[in-house]
């Protein structure tokens, strides 16, 4: 075959390919259908369980069996996505009405994952069997080929209630996200009935029935007045709070008990919540806490916070609302697949489309039932008529050579090849006009059907069939009759499956926390060589002064209301509120400084640490690796931001020394090639922090500053160079911006 090269615009090909990919993810993977409220993987899993016969009244089957069958027949996207979908459909803390009954470890509300699929078992819930998968044999929905066209699967399941609202949905597609909160089944059914009675009903009127979301975890919706806008537009933010109770215990102490959590706290966020409370205590923002314990179990959430006597409970609750996820936001974005494309839908629109779907599947169901009853009536009428002329039919049967001869006589009155006992019988036979279906039923009829009681039963059955036909035709011809059938089904669902609302809807006041003013005092900041820091009071410091300076790299006096400043080799200044640093005992480990600041030990090194309140008393001398120097007034670093630039650096340059100075000193620069330059700090001019500075030492082409030393003019000290002592007096005083003296050791 001759090779053909197709020339095309690259950007157009990329655009077309990406759009195809995006639509595939949106339609076939990530977003639910407004009709049944299910994503494709959920729909396929439920249908596969239905096909395998894993009903609610039959034994459980291994999850691995379900996952494997679903993947092999309908969903070729990997077992993990199928099992994850199955797990979520079993979890009553995520779904308003779980659709799968799980047996085994399917995870919990605290974030523990489900056991492997080879260990767990599952079967359909009764509501799934009766209200989502029922009537699939009655041609109520279209079936489409599966991925390899070896099986057929339903394009949508005939769900009898607005599952998209009841169970909600979350999904991330390409360029869009859906986030629909769950609602109460009973309220949704009542709203659906109200819409069916009056299609001009407003969203506000529908909210008389649907008060708001009903999360499986309970909690409180705090912004009731915002719900109307959310339900009209399909977008908005719902403010959630956990439910808190106060319990008095012996000794006058108080226990704050959290019995319900915001829906957004499901999973690992419960652990994060407990850590946040512990952090509030460590940061001295909640000193009234005595103990925290998570006593949650299968019976429900129970997080106990023990408080001191005379604690202002309301203020403490407001602190939790402000500083932890006990108050959180649920972002609503009600996007679903409607008419084959993604659309943002309001409350009324979701109900309207579901009701239209109910009319469609009900029409198809009763059309199928009517056709079956019409076929049944045709056969029944033929048998009843045959019983009345049974002698003639027996004579035809006895006088015929084969089945086709009898069938032609019964349907068309053709008597060729049939021997009759009398001419009268021949004439009567020519008048027969049974339908083909009736003729086949007569030929298949057994002799016991000629018993009188059997004939009476046939006549009675025919009356019931006629009554069914009349009823089905009435349902199909009159919309009111069909609406009544749908409403009856909804009422039956509500009666059996509806539960009491869990989430409270109200307009709560904004949480206002009055932070207690700290008694301002001096404390000591300590940080070891590993970067763990803490603060201690002055009394503790005085008792352990020698040990503090021996064990800690930085020991800095500061105010408990001030800030600590970290200067790094990258020219950055990171500030930390002293209140955010753990305050405790001398032997407490403390926290890594990385955890409470923007400083990262993996990308930068700390050169100096100072209290911001004391910087005004000093000037700072900066020295870079390329020999640039400058002095900056400490008042320039009175920053409130967590990170600011402390200086300007040249290309590929970095700081190697930052020194706090109050008087003139001698500065000694030592280069990598062994040159030493000693000069007075008074030779360095004072600059703004945004300046690069002046050259302190002339360096060779590949030479850099390796070490910086500070000394008094008349010092007798020495420095260590190449593991040997070099007296400072040996290094002659020189001028800035010279090459210096090479010292050989």
Q: State pLDDT tens for residues 461-509.
A: 889 999 999 999 999 999 999 999 999 999 999 999 999 999 999 988 7
Q: What are the structure tokens assigned to 612, written together? A: 């911001």
Angle between helices 479-497 and 452-477 (to 10 degrees): 100
Residues in contact with 372: Cβ distance below 8 Å, sequence separation at least 6, in sequence order: none
Query: How much is the mean pLDDT over the chain?
Result: 89
State the pLDDT at residue 514. Answer: 67
Same fold for the pair 38-158 and 355-496: no
Mean pLDDT highest for which of 208-222, 311-325, 375-389?
208-222
What's the predicted TM-score (pTM) here? 0.73
Asked if 669 and 731 count as a contact pair (C-beta separation under 8 A), the reply is: no
Q: What are the structure tokens assigned to 11, written together? A: 């950007």
| Fold entry, domain 522-742 | Neuraminidase (2.120.10)
Task: Specify the higher pLDDT residue, 425 or 185.
Answer: 185
Distance CA 33, CA 28 (A): 10
Q: What are the structure tokens assigned to 115, written together? A: 């056991």
Burial of 679 (0-12, 13-18, 19+ CB in 10 A): buried
Asked if 303 and 291 count as a contact pair (C-beta separation under 8 A), the reply is: no
State the pLDDT at residue 729. Answer: 84
Name the residue ranges covered by the structural domains of the chain: 38-158, 243-325, 355-496, 522-742
Residues in contact with 355: Cβ distance below 8 Å, sequence separation at least 6, in sequence order: 192, 195, 196, 486
State the pLDDT at residue 23. Answer: 59
Residues in contact with 347: Cβ distance below 8 Å, sequence separation at least 6, in sequence order: 165, 191, 203, 206, 207, 210, 231, 232, 234
Closest C-alpha to 286, from 251, 311, 303: 311
Distance CA 685, CA 674 (A): 26
CATH number of 38-158: 3.90.199.10
- What region, left, alpha or beta, does residue 656 occupy, with left being phi > 0 and alpha being psi -120 to 50 degrees? alpha
Closest C-alpha to 580, from 553, 567, 568, 598: 598
HSE value, Cβ hemisphere, 13 Å, CA-based, for 363: 10
State the pLDDT at residue 584. Answer: 82
Q: State pLDDT tens for residues 526-574.
A: 999 999 999 999 999 999 999 999 999 999 999 888 899 999 999 999 9
Class of the CATH domain delimited by 355-496: mainly alpha
First-to-last CA distance in the chain? 81
Q: What is the dihedral of CA 716, 717, 723, 724, to 10 degrees?
A: 10
Whether the predicted pLDDT of 22 surpasses 60: no
Taking CB atoms within 8 Å and a gap of at least 24, the contacts of 350-353 are: 350/34, 350/162, 350/164, 350/165, 351/162, 351/165, 351/188, 351/191, 351/192, 351/195, 351/206, 352/195, 352/199, 353/34, 353/35
Distance CA 111, CA 478 (A): 51
Q: State pLDDT tens for residues 204-254.
A: 999 999 999 999 999 999 999 999 999 999 999 999 999 999 888 887 788
Q: What is the DSSP letter of 484?
A: H
Q: State pLDDT tens for residues 663-696.
A: 888 999 999 999 999 999 989 989 998 899 999 9
Q: State pLDDT tens for residues 411-420.
A: 888 888 888 8
Residue with tokens 């030929």: 443
Whether the predicted pLDDT of 17 surpasses 70: no
CA-derived radius of gyration, the chain: 42
Catalogue the active-site residues: 119
Q: What percent of the chain has pLDDT over 70?
A: 95
Asked if 639 and 575 count as a contact pair (C-beta separation under 8 A), the reply is: yes
Class of the CATH domain delimited by 243-325: alpha beta
Q: State pLDDT tens for residues 329-381.
A: 999 999 998 988 889 999 999 999 999 999 999 999 999 999 999 999 988 88
State the pLDDT at residue 652. Answer: 86
Residues in contact with 256: Cβ distance below 8 Å, sequence separation at least 6, in sequence order: 244, 245, 246, 247, 304, 305, 307, 313, 316, 317
Angle between helices 63-73 and 40-51 (to 10 degrees): 110
């Amino acid at each position: 075959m001759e090779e053909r090269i197709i020339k095309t615009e690259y950007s157009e090909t990329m655009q077309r390919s990406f759009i195809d990919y995006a639509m595939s993810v949106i339609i076939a993977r990530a977003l639910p259908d407004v009709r049944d409220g299910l994503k494709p993987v959920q729909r396929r899993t439920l249908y596969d369980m239905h096909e395998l016969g894993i009903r609610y009244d039959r034994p459980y089957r291994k999850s691995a069996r379900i996952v494997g069958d679903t993947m092999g027949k309908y969903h070729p996207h990997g077992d993990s996505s199928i099992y994850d979908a199955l797990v979520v459909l079993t979890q009553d803390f995520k779904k308003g009405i779980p659709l799968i009954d799980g047996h085994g470890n399917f995870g919990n509300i605290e974030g523990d994952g489900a056991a492997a699929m080879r260990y767990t078992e599952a079967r359909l819930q009764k509501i799934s069997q009766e209200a989502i998968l029922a009537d699939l044999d009655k041609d109520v929905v279209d079936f489409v080929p599966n991925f390899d066209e070896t099986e057929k699967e339903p394009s949508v399941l005939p769900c009898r209630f607005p599952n998209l609202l009841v169970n909600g949905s979350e999904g991330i597609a390409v360029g869009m996200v859906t986030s629909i909160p769950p609602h109460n089944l009973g309220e949704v059914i009542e709203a659906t009935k109200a819409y069916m009675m009056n299609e001009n009903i407003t969203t506000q009127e529908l909210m008389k029935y649907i008060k708001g979301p009903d999360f499986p975890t309970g909690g409180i919706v705090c912004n009731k007045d915002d719900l109307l806008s959310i339900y009209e537009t399909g977008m908005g933010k719902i403010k959630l709070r956990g439910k808190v109770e106060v319990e008095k215990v012996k000794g006058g102490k108080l226990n704050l008990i959290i019995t319900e959590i915001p829906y957004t706290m499901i999973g690992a966020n419960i652990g994060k919540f407990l850590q946040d409370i512990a952090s509030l205590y460590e940061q001295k923002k909640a000193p009234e806490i005595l103990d925290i314990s998570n006593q949650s179990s299968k019976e429900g959430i129970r997080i106990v916070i023990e408080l001191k006597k005379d604690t202002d409970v309301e203020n403490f609750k407001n602190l939790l609302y402000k500083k932890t996820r006990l108050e959180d936001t649920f972002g609503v974005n009600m996007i679903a697949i409607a008419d084959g494309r993604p659309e943002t839908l309001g409350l009324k629109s979701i109900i309207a489309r579901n009701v239209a779907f109910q009319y469609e599947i009900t029409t198809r169901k009763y059309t199928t039932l009517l056709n079956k009853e019409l076929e049944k009536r045709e056969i029944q009428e033929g048998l009843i008529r045959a019983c009345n002329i049974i002698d003639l039919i027996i004579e035809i049967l006895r006088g015929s050579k084969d089945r086709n001869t009898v069938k032609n006589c019964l349907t068309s009155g053709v008597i060729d090849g049939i021997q009759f006992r009398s001419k009268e019988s021949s004439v009567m036979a020519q008048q027969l006009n049974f339908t083909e279906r009736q003729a086949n039923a007569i030929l298949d009829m057994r002799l016991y059907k000629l018993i009188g009681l059997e004939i009476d039963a046939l006549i009675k059955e025919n009356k019931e069939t006629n009554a069914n036909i009349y009823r089905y035709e009435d349902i199909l011809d009159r919309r009111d009759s069909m609406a009544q059938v749908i409403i009856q089904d909804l009422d039956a669902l509500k009666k059996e499956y509806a539960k009491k609302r869990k989430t409270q809807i109200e307009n709560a006041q904004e949480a206002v926390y009055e932070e207690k003013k700290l008694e301002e005092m001096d404390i000591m900041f300590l940080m070891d060589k590993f970067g763990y820091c803490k603060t201690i009071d002055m009394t503790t410091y005085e008792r352990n002064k020698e040990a503090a300076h021996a064990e800690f790299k930085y020991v800095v006096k500061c105010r408990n209301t001030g800030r600590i400043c970290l200067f790094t080799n990258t020219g950055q200044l990171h500030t930390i509120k002293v209140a955010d640093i753990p305050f405790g005992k001398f032997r407490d480990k403390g926290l890594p400084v990385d955890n409470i600041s923007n400083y990262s030990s993996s990308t930068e090194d700390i050169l100096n640490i100072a209290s911001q309140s004391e910087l005004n008393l000093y000037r700072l001398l900066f020295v870079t690796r390329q020999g640039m120097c400058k002095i900056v007034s400490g008042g320039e670093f009175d920053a409130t931001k967590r990170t600011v630039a402390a200086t300007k650096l040249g290309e590929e340059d970095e700081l190697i020394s930052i020194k706090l100075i109050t008087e003139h000193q001698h500065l000694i620069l030592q280069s990598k090639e062994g040159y030493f330059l000693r000069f007075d700090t008074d030779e360095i001019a004072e600059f703004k922090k945004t300046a690069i500075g002046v050259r302190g030492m002339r360096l060779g082409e590949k030479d850099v500053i390796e070490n910086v030393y500070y000394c008094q003019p008349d010092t007798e000290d020495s420095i260590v160079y190449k593991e040997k002592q070099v007296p400072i007096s040996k290094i002659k005083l020189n001028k800035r911006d010279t090459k210096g003296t090479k010292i050989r050791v």
